A = this chain, B = another copy of it.
Amino acid sequence: MKKQDNHASTLRDNVRIRPLEPHDRSPIEDMVVSSGMFNDVEIATALELVEEALEEGEESGYIFAILETGNANKVRGYACYGPVPLTQGVYDLYWIVVDPASQGTGLGRALIQYVEQDVLSRGGRMILVETSSQEKYGATVRFYERCGYHLEARVRGFYRIGDDKLVFQKELY
């Protein structure tokens, strides 16, 4: 445990979070693929959002936060979020992904805390994040719960028959 804590602490001390840049395309694709959590259509969707954000900036509706660590500035994770149209102060967290080799070291929490602070600074009051009821997303659900999100809504059979959409919510203060 001590060793792991030291490792996490070391990583946290070297964490930088910054906006999206063109050279992030490749590490983002690597992380999304190697996570093993997303099918081909979902991977293509993730990469489309990267392209839209690179082309249009925040006009795209998508804000990216890229997390990198160490002296080599290796990309270890990213989040993609944006304001929900027709709402006052609600933001969707569309994607949050951490390199599988770096999971369990606090990077996901660092990313989501960065997103929450940024949403607050933009006048946001609530973050919603959707996930699937499939068992393979159990760790994801527990991650959101540890970060203060609660299950606000469920749409049964949304992704496919037997695979519900879960909507987690956190109010920001």
Contact = CB atoms under 8 A, between A and B. Distances in A.
Copies of this chain per assembly: 2
Of A126, A157, A161, which is in contact with the most chain B CB atoms at under 10 Å from its CB? A157
Interface stretch (A50-58, A83-91, A106-114): A83-91
Contacts of A156: 152
Interface string A151-168: 011111111110000010
Interface residues of A, number: 26
A122 to B, nearest CB: 16
A86 B163 CA distance: 12
Contact of A86 (B42, B157, B169): B42
Contact of A155 (B45, B89, B167): B167
Interface string A109-148: 0000000000000000110100000000000000000000
Given A153-B153, A153-B167, A154-B153, A159 B87 contact: yes
Interface string A82-107: 00111111100000000000000000
Nearest to A130: B86
A85 B45 contact: yes
Nearest to A48: B85
A45 B85 CA distance: 9
Contacts of A167: 153, 155
Interface in A46-91: 84-90
Interface of A: 41-42, 45, 84-90, 125-126, 128, 152-161, 167, 169, 171
